[in-house]
Amino acid sequence: MLWPKFPTSGGGQTSLGVSRRKDMGHFCRICSRTRPNERFSGKGHRTHVCKDCARMPRDKREALEQEEELFTYMKQSQMSEKNIGRLTTVAASENPRIAELAGIVLEVTKLNPYMKRRLKALARERRDLLEALDRTGRILAHHW
Ligand SMILES: [Zn+2]
């Protein structure tokens, strides 16, 4: 398959993926960083939320969590009716970025029920979103 415009995970261009393998810290699911263990409380270790993110205002953290949720949907090989219902709810979010992301994921999902085609459609139509996915260091690292 051809992906001329985007590096694969093997290309070594996603710095996040590289540093994550090297560090011995703990991954924060909110800020998507691997941070030293002292940046996590005991509870934070269990919930995968670093101390900085634990202090974040609730709405900001919720937005990040919803963003994470959207990425999770993008990673699924197929979208269920339930997922689509949830996406529709998230697309009505008061947070404009989340609403936009959810709207795009929803749109692309309706057009392309299978993940690989979703990513391909994104590469073609919404490069900005694909780049946002790439910045998380997860989607591409796991699937490309
Ligand atoms: Zn964090």
Are 100 and 142 part of one and the same domain?
Answer: yes
What is the domain range of residue 124? 57-144
Are 92 and 129 part of one and the same domain?
Answer: yes
Q: Is residue 78 part of a domain?
A: yes
E strands, the chain, are 26-28, 33-35
- Residues flanking ion ligand 1, Cβ below 5 Å: 28, 30-31, 50, 53
**Separation CA 50–CA 38 (nearest Å):** 9
Q: Is residue 93 part of a domain?
A: yes
Are 105 and 93 part of one and the same domain?
Answer: yes
* pLDDT band at residue 140 under the 50/70/90 scheme: low
Ligand 1 centre distance from Cα of residue 37 (Å): 12
Are 32 and 75 part of one and the same domain?
Answer: no
Are 45 and 80 part of one and the same domain?
Answer: no
Ligand 1 centre distance from Cα of residue 117 (Å): 31
Q: Is residue 6 part of a domain?
A: no
Q: Is residue 47 part of a domain?
A: yes
- The model's pTM is 0.55
**Domain count within the chain:** 2
Q: Give residue-wise pLDDT tens across range 78-120.
A: 788 898 899 999 999 988 888 888 887 887 777 666 666 777 7
